[in-house]
Structure 1
Amino acid sequence: MKRPSLKPGTQQILHALAVMCMAAPMIASAQQATDLGAVSASGGSGATDNSSAPVTATKTAPVQGSLTARSAQSIVSDQFIRDLTSPVADFSQVLQMTPGMYSYSPNGVGLGDTKTYFRGFSDGDYTVSFDGIPFQDTNSPSHHTWAFFPSQFLGGAVVDRSPGSAATIGPANFGGSVNLLSRNLEPEQRFSAFDSYGSFNTKIYGAEFESGQFGADGASNLLLNAHQMTSDGYQTYNKQTRDAVSLKYQYAITDNTALTLFGSYIDLKSNTPNTKGATRAQIAQFGDDYLLSNNPKQANYWGYNFYHVTSDFEYAGLSSNLGGGWKLDDKVYTYAYHNQQNYNGSTITATSATDKLNAYRTYGNLLRLSQESSFGVFRTGLWAENADTNRYQIPSDPRTWIDATAPNFHERFKTTTLQPFVEYEFQVMPDLKITPGVKYSSYRQNLTQYADNGKTVGNLGGLPSIEHAVTYNTVLPSFDVHYMLRPNWSVYGQYVVGDEIPPTSVFDVKNANVTALPSSIKSKTFQIGSVWKSDRFTFDIDAYHIKFDNAYSSFTDNAGNTTYFANGSSTTQGIEAEGNVVLGSGFSLYANATYGTAKYASGQWVASAPSDTETLGLNYNQGGWDIGWLNKRVGTMYNDNGSVHQAVKIAPFTISNLFVNYTIKHPVQMVKQAKVQFGVNNLFDKHSIVGVNPASTTTSAPAPGDVLTLLPARSLSLTVSLDF
């Protein structure tokens, strides 16, 4: 009988798992520690100000796993956001140093609409939520980091590099989920003011009011934050202004019931063009920072390119212990995004520019119920959401912004989402839990597409508009096992199916005549992992194998036109690890690393999927000092050219940041605390090429017309904040 053979990639993963299983018992002989604990998806980071507590690895780790995790998770601390990110950072910077994740903004940190990648998945292939509530574009489940949740709004994050369990809701748990967490409220009253100035004439100033507990029996608490940011940007004439405000209020109705209200609003203006990079020829002639000109006779004049984006996000949440082990968590919410973008093409004519709108308002409710007994934990709930969208692109004259009669396209549509779920966490033994579950995912789109100038759907046979209705239904099972080998050492195994619906652009065909609708794409994830903690060390490791459909692979050319291609399937597999160690004398060392592959059935690499990533961080925290250096290396990866995969090789690059914080208690009368932060992003001033959009679909040879994405130059910032 012929002996079965394993593929090389599978052999590597099995070998890594064997090493993991042998290494963990050797580590576990160290002293035990208290678990970091589960981080609630209902809001808050779980972080507390406990400066008198002993320094432990869980306290100093910027990112770490949880002993209760049933999948590959990394928890980002509130302290990391406050002390080790730029004051102008968006939420992509909060995720930057977690295992395998990377992003970049060519205009400078926090000064662009940034996308984050991991495990071969790009933005739109995973869910992003805030306090458990998913938010995303309605034409495809993508996200805009500059329009929602800057660092001032955030108190932490939980990154799940898997579709999660049945109870993990979202529109694109295909690749994973990221849950951003709101700020924790504090028991004492505080008023804070801050001011910051940095490279590229970047300024941000603002104030924050924390009420502390007030009212009858201290049942109320309020946090209000407001700031303004302005910057010239690293790239020429790519200016940006952001005004933002957020509010969080909690009221303890009874000892067992609490009400939470949250609201935020952002107004963003920018001179960013539609093509956010310069060509090889332009960079060679004008320098790495070139993007726009100040000459109205040139097509790339900055006055012909601008965004005005507003967004708001609100929810009311009710959580209650109902008795008998039952718990309720219900959130009703709404959020909106209004992006009015105007941009010019490569010439100056009466129709060379585009007047573009992408606007939607979403309403929803997220209901969760659970019941805990001696047999285990029962969880069920329903996510229900409705969204109204208006999108168009109209040819326009950049000199006058007078629009043409007919648009390139115009569509309005409604999206209805329903996701009921149920799972049961069986308490098989005191330390062994087995959780099967199932989620039903239903999306319905009702589209009205209007006659256009022929660029997208055409004249519709003389009709003013045409309507479509489509429903995507998917059953998504999950199964996981969690075992506590020791109080400070857990292991888990997981199998779960995730999904992602097609974008609305599948209807962008001649006369909107869709002859065959695509189905939802699915991913099937197998992974195992282990988490271990002690006073001195934290360590977690996982190995994964994911088979996923790639029906919606796409390429966007330099004019902003997107083509979908390459149906089939792909496989991503690898191993990930992270850990933190207390060195003593205030020092701690954090590191993570990933190794894996993400390839199509042909053997070619998925775009923007690095073969490996490594993060190394050295932190010092003693007295008033809090100093952190974090360095991330992203390994070799590839970009497509519109006709073939693996067309352009992107060499490894490094992102290195340094932050020095010094805090003084009661420096003068009336001031509770003063804090000074000096930050350096891109410490080693690397100008690496991190993306290439080839000018040609027939050759991968470097060409003058290739659009390049580069790391921005080193940037410095100095921030002063006072607490009263």
Structure 2
Amino acid sequence: MLAKSDSSSLTRKASADSTGHFSISGLPAGAYTVSVSAPGFSVAVQQGVQLAAGQPKNLSFSLSLGNFSQQVTVDAGGSASIAAQRAPMDAPLDERSARTEVNTTFIQNYTAPTADYGELVALVPGTETTNSNGVGLGQSTTTFRGFTDGSYDIDFDGIPFYDTNTPSHHSWAFFPSQWIGGVDFDRSPGTASTIGPTPFGGSIHLLSNQMPSERNLRGGFSYGSFNTVLFDGSFNSGDFGGESNKSNLFVDVHHMSSDGYQTFNYQTRNAGSLKYQYKLSDKTVLTGFTGVIWLDANSPNLSSTRAQILAKGDNYLLQNTDNTQATFYKYNRYHVPTDFEYVGVNSQLGRSWSLDFKPYTYNYDNSQFYAKQPKGGAPINPTVCGTPVKKISPCAVDKYNSYRKYGETLALSQTSSRGIFRTGLWYERAATNRHQFPSNPFTLKDDTLPNFSEKFRTNSYQPYAEYQLMATHKLSITAGLKFAFYTMALDQFADNGGKIGSVNPITGKPFTVVSNSVNYHSWLPSLDANYRLKPNWSVYAQASTGSVVPPSSVYDTAGALVGTPPKPQTSTTYQTGTVLKLKRVTFDADFYHTRFQNGYSSATNNDPNSPLFGESIQYISPSSITLGGEFESSIYLGSGLSLYLNATRGKATYVGTLTAYSPNGSSSNPLVVKAPSDLWVAEAPTDTEAEGLTYQERGWNVGVFNKRIGSKWEDNGAYHNQLRDDPYNVSNAFINYTIRGGSHFDQTKIRLSINNLMGSHNVTSVSPGGALVAAPLVVNGLTYANPFIGATTSSPGFTGGRNLCR
């Protein structure tokens, strides 16, 4: 047990007796953070514990078996490490893979009030987070080790959340920072008990706020750049419910509005969350959570070229200085209500068995209407709607994407003298309705045929079992196996050729709907070990596998005709690392090697003698290998000052024979074949570095942080290393002062956040601008029509850009 003063460096430790009781005497009055830990269990923490002079304080803790589906918080090192206690983020001593835990102190003091979860992990080793409209003011993008969104899991209190058509995420529509109490970032496929649709590159485990034992009511107001206003109110009931104090309630509501960094990119967010805990007994706790967000914006669906950004300014997208863009914002509407609910039961069943069960549901409902870029750059008008054709034609899109999910996570664990056995199941079912219709922004009348329209149903099953053997009191070895099984049943309706068309390409007959169903499965084993060299020094090694379920777009082909469906992409990761926690220094490092399969592409079978003639053939892109090293350190300098450092160096390259575009090539010979080791995986930086200096003393929390992202390459469809992005830095500064002393304003916090301190506005990624000429495609010895044939050669082949504004 560890008690740390919130206002000084005072720290006291105590060990529990045989009955689990502990006590510490002689503590001065004040606020304390109390943490309790035991081998094989998650750390339990109570923050803001108020202690009055001469009055004893009784605290009770319920330790959960170490499982990522349950809440965990930053381990203070298992030792009296001042550096670990003051680190903004840190690695735990019992880790069995490369992990970084972002603590509550960092979230509350060293991020902007408007931040989403992408900003909370931006400093984690190897991670890059960008947002082109400002912090928390749009869809942020997070990558690490070259894994883009859709290649890793994100869960909230152990419940995975993701889109149904592809396992990507919406950072601004779920889980604002006000609802998050900590983040556990695992940069590996994890163990067998790591659930989710994409335990492929890693997992970002978001944790809800802890339930403090003391009552408090807080209100907040902030104002920032781009006319950003945030009102926030929260209520912690503390323990209540008679002498036994069985209940605890936390409520948060907030309203945010902003003009956004990009001109005319307005948005409004209203959100509220409620978390309730009830102790049914000393061994069983019931938890309920609900979170609702109502998001309205007019974010466009347009890309700016690098030339436009250079000529018209960094925030060119809805720029009112350009008449081709000036009226676009009037026709963009983005309405996204979401909700997320679960009920959790955590119980100690006897005979050392533990149960954690969470049924849940959540919903995403995206209604969007946006104007399209007029051809030729002419301003839109109601006569021709900006399209240079003789007849009136729509130049907007009526877009809808909605799904409702129901699921449950079940974890059973038994602790014995030899180790911990874990087994469980994740199950989820979802119903999705998606469409896009060409529409007229002036009359709001949709075309008869959509660009696409589909409804589909998905089911996800992941049973698992693993055993953590305590081979010695210093060595633990964990082996496990998970079975990932998914089903998808699609109904795709006739469209205007945007996806499947309205005529069967083989029979030539029209159709109204095409139905398909497909199953995907993967066996995912894992093996890891952790050895405690000393109480404050550990080493670990891991071998783990992951997979990514194919997206629904597999069937977005003419007539929705698909030959042999693809198999899930798989990855295999090998890692080794160490964690050391001294009194004034913490250090952790890891070295990793991952081989993973890339996404699928399709080609049409043009062999008239084949039974699959005319159907789409799915082929996998070449595999990639990413390898490198990461390190992280926190140094306590004294007098409240701490220095945080991390750095990564990696290499991510393709495997197999690949092609890259030659700018000097002709339409008959535009390709250059390069060795795989010469071709980098897109979006994988060569290196990253982070530095942070913090001061935490006498109510002050002051910090300055800098993140540098090294150079990286961009791809254009099937052609690699088309464009190189230069390195860039982003620096942030934070000043916080908390009033203490028992007055009416006790615990009131005054905050100043300055993001992007040095005004960095780099273009951090670009989008393909067109296909290139290529030879016919050969897959497994058969020749298929290549979708690139007949396209015009373009250089450099990119038109879209995303610039940085964090």
TM-score (norm 2): 0.80
Give 3-state SS (helix, strand or coil) of 1:429's partner.
coil
CA distance in 1, matches of 2:218, 2:70: 22
Residue from 249, 266, 269 that aligns with 2:296: 269
Q: 2:6: which partner in 1?
A: none
Deviation of 1:700 after TM superposition, in Å, equals: 7.8
CA distance in 1, matches of 2:337, 2:234: 21
CA distance in 1, matches of 2:352, 2:746: 42
CA distance in 2, matches of 1:613, 1:372: 40
Deviates more, 1:525-534 or 1:363-372: 525-534
- Establish whether residue 712 from structure 1 lines up as the match of residue 805 from structure 2: yes
Residue from 529, 538, 543 that aligns with 1:495: 543
Q: Sort the Cα spacing of 1:524 and 1:113 in 2 relative to 1 into closer, same or farther, 3 A.
A: same
Q: 1:285: which partner in 2?
A: 311
CA distance in 1, matches of 2:451, 2:344: 41
Q: Sort the Cα spacing of 1:462 and 1:172 in 2 relative to 1 into closer, same or farther, 3 A.
A: same
- Establish whether residue 567 from structure 1 lines up as the match of residue 592 from structure 2: no
Residues 81 and 582 in structure 2, CA contact (< 8 A), matched pair in contact too: no
Deviation of 1:454 after TM superposition, in Å, equals: 1.7
Residues 296 and 303 in structure 1, CA contact (< 8 A), matched pair in contact too: no
Deviates more, 1:178-187 or 1:635-644: 635-644
Deviations 1:597-648 (A, max 9, x none): 1111123111110010000000001112110111000001011123411111
1:369-380 correspondence to structure 2 within 5 Å: 369-380=412-423
Q: 2:166: which partner in 1?
A: 140
Deviation of 1:294 after TM superposition, in Å, equals: 5.0
Residues 716 and 768 in structure 2, CA contact (< 8 A), matched pair in contact too: yes
Give 3-state SS (helix, strand or coil) of 1:618's partner.
strand
Residue from 533, 551, 574 that aligns with 2:599: 551
Q: 1:364: which partner in 2?
A: 407
Residue from 255, 269, 291 that aligns with 1:242: 269
Which entry has the higher C-alpha Rg, 1 or 2?
2
Q: Sort the Cα spacing of 1:552 and 1:65 in 2 relative to 1 into closer, same or farther, 3 A.
A: farther
1:349-428 correspondence to structure 2 within 5 Å: 349=385, 350-428=393-471
Residue from 239, 245, 249 that aligns with 1:213: 239
Q: 1:617: which partner in 2?
A: 692
Residues 115 and 135 in structure 2, CA contact (< 8 A), matched pair in contact too: yes
Deviations 1:561-591 (A, max 9, x none): xx99861211010001101111001000111
CA distance in 2, matches of 1:155, 1:285: 43
Deviation of 1:708 after TM superposition, in Å, equals: 2.3
CA distance in 2, matches of 1:551, 1:679: 39
CA distance in 2, matches of 1:108, 1:156: 22
Deviation of 1:674 after TM superposition, in Å, equals: 1.8
CA distance in 1, matches of 2:742, 2:754: 26
Q: 1:479: which partner in 2?
A: 527
Deviation of 1:475 after TM superposition, in Å, equals: 0.7
Residues 410 and 424 in structure 2, CA contact (< 8 A), matched pair in contact too: yes
Deviates more, 1:403-412 or 1:545-554: 545-554
Residues 44 and 181 in structure 1, CA contact (< 8 A), matched pair in contact too: yes
Residue from 461, 477, 481 that aligns with 1:438: 481
CA distance in 2, matches of 1:181, 1:533: 24
CA distance in 2, matches of 1:35, 1:258: 19
CA distance in 1, matches of 2:323, 2:651: 47
Give 3-state SS (helix, strand or coil) of 1:405's partner.
coil
Q: 2:574: which partner in 1?
A: 526
Residue from 141, 148, 153 that aligns with 1:127: 153
Q: Sort the Cα spacing of 1:588 and 1:654 in 2 relative to 1 into closer, same or farther, 3 A.
A: same
Q: 1:189: which partner in 2?
A: 215
CA distance in 2, matches of 1:530, 1:324: 34
Deviation of 1:271 after TM superposition, in Å, equals: 1.4
Give 3-state SS (helix, strand or coil) of 1:613's partner.
strand
- Establish whether residue 225 from structure 1 lines up as the match of residue 252 from structure 2: yes
Q: 1:597: which partner in 2?
A: 651
Q: Sort the Cα spacing of 1:48 and 1:637 in 2 relative to 1 into closer, same or farther, 3 A.
A: closer
Deviation of 1:171 after TM superposition, in Å, equals: 0.3
Deviates more, 1:514-523 or 1:671-680: 671-680
Deviation of 1:346 after TM superposition, in Å, equals: 1.7
Amino acid at match of 1:618: L
Amino acid at match of 1:533: K
CA distance in 2, matches of 1:285, 1:688: 14
CA distance in 1, matches of 2:441, 2:171: 27
Question: Unpaired runs of 5+ in structure 2?
Answer: 1-34, 44-66, 375-379, 386-392, 504-508, 603-616, 656-675, 773-792
Question: Unpaired runs of 5+ in structure 1?
Answer: 1-32, 555-562, 714-724
Residues 92 and 115 in structure 1, CA contact (< 8 A), matched pair in contact too: yes
CA distance in 1, matches of 2:461, 2:364: 21
Give 3-state SS (helix, strand or coil) of 1:673's partner.
coil
Deviations 1:536-583 (A, max 9, x none): 1211111010111113489xxxxxxxx998612110100011011110
Deviations 1:155-202 (A, max 9, x none): 010000000000111100111111000001111110000000001101
Q: Sort the Cα spacing of 1:293 and 1:588 in 2 relative to 1 into closer, same or farther, 3 A.
A: closer
CA distance in 2, matches of 1:380, 1:75: 24
Count of equivalent residues: 667
- Establish whether residue 469 from structure 1 lines up as the match of residue 517 from structure 2: yes
Give 3-state SS (helix, strand or coil) of 1:184's partner.
coil
CA distance in 1, matches of 2:619, 2:644: 40
Q: Sort the Cα spacing of 1:35 and 1:655 in 2 relative to 1 into closer, same or farther, 3 A.
A: farther
Give 3-state SS (helix, strand or coil) of 1:462's partner.
coil
Give 3-state SS (helix, strand or coil) of 2:443's partner.
coil
Taking every aligned residue pair, what percent have the same amino acid on both sides? Answer: 47
Ranked by relative contact order (alpha carbons within 8 Å, sequence separation 6 or more), the top structure is: 1
CA distance in 2, matches of 1:531, 1:643: 41
Q: 2:193: which partner in 1?
A: 167
Q: 2:355: which partner in 1?
A: 328
Quote the RMSD (CA, aligned, Å): 2.3
Residue from 205, 219, 226 that aligns with 1:179: 205
Deviation of 1:303 after TM superposition, in Å, equals: 1.2
Q: 1:692: which partner in 2?
A: 766
Residues 92 and 116 in structure 1, CA contact (< 8 A), matched pair in contact too: yes
CA distance in 2, matches of 1:47, 1:692: 37
Amino acid at match of 2:681: V
